[in-house]
Amino acid sequence: MPEKKITLSVSVNGVVHTATVEPRMLLSDFLRHELGLTGTHVGCEHGVCGACTVLLDGRSARSCLTLAVQADGVEIETVEGQGSIDRLGRIQEAFRQHHALQCGFCTPGFIMAITDMLRHHPLESDDQIREALSGNICRCTGYEHIVNAVRELAKERGPLT
């Protein structure tokens, strides 16, 4: 049953939003239905598929397993912050070049997970890349083109310092 609403303030892609929500509201629902940022998708609501992955203070997290109120004061990054149709971000561009998406539903979650990976994981071999990607499910591509995109991005980044 609905409980007393709570006010939270979050930064999403650099824009601060203040809202009052039920404490049980999922962060994924908050982003999608309260803020209208529908680029973040919900594939399983169990934290298994990774489609809803966003960054919370720079680290990847499942927005379907996070309550919106837990994100109070947190800096959130979503796929909308990566680039726009006329100016795709680097990961988005690599996905397009390598045909690393088909239906596109899982793609925002992959892009956000890869953002974290590129910041924090060595990604020196295909095995490491596949291991890092294994928290996200894609049903269309068979992963090979996604691996190709990440390999290129990791090479471009160079070794982690």
Partner 1 sequence: MSLSDHSVELRPKLVGQRVKRTEDPRLLAGVGQYVDDMAPAGMLHVALRRSDQPHARILNIDVGGAFSVPGVIAIYDASDLDNDVTPAIPTSRMPDYYATPIWPLARGKVRYVGEPVVAVVAESRYAAEDALEHITIDYEPLPFAIRQIDAVKDDAPLLHEEAGTNTIIRREFKRGDVDAAFESAAVTVKGRFRMTRKTAVAMENRSYLAEWDPRKQALTLYTSSNIPGVIRDVLSGCLDLPGTRLRVAAPDVGGSFGGKGSLYGEELLVCALARKLKRPIKFISDRLEDLSATSQAFDELIGAELAVTQDGMLIGLRADVIGDVGAYSIYPWTAALETVQVVSFLPGPYRMEHYRGRIRGVLTPKPPTGPYRGVGRPSSTFAMERLIDMAARKLCMDPVEFRRKNLVNAEEFPYRTASGIIWDKSAFQECLAGACAHVDYPNLLLERDEARRNGRWVGIGLASYAELTGIGSRISVAPGMPINTGTETSKIEIDATGAITAAFGIASHGQGLETTLAQVIVDELGCKLEDIEVKHGDSALVPMSSGTYASRSAVLGGGAATLAARVVKGKVLRAAAYLMEQSIDDLDIHAGIVTSRNSNRSMTLKEIASAVYSQMGRIPRNQREDLAASETYDPYLGTACSSTHLAMVEVDPETYGVKVLRYVVAEDCGKIINPMIVDGQVQGAVAQGIGAALLEEIVHDDQGQAVAASLADYLVPVATNVPDIGIVHIEADLPNNIGGFRGMGEGGTIGAPATIANAVSDALSHLDISVETLPVTPERIFQMLQARRDPAAAVTD
The rounded distance, in Å, linking the Cα atoms of 14 and 4 is: 28
CA 17 to chain centre: 19
Q: Is 78 in the site for partner 1 (CB under 8 A)?
A: yes
Part in contact with partner 1 (CB under 8 A); list of ranges 4-12, 65-73, 104-112, 116-124: 104-112
Of 73 and 122, nearer to partner 1 (C-beta) is 122
Of 51 and 56, nearer to partner 1 (C-beta) is 51
> Least CB distance from residue 110 to partner 1, whole Å?
10
Name the DSSP letter for residue 56. E
Nearest to 131 by CA among 117, 115, 119: 117
Give the chain's radius of gyration (CA, Å).
Answer: 16
Among 8, 12, 35, 51, indicate the residue that binds partner 1 (CB under 8 A).
51
Among 12, 68, 76, 101, indicate the residue that binds partner 1 (CB under 8 A).
101
Q: What 3-state DSSP class applies to 68?
A: helix
Q: Is the dihedral of CA 104, 108, 111, 113 positive or negative?
A: negative
Part in contact with partner 1 (CB under 8 A); list of ranges 4-12, 29-37, 65-73, 151-159: 29-37
Among 60, 77, 114, 145, indicate the residue that binds partner 1 (CB under 8 A).
145
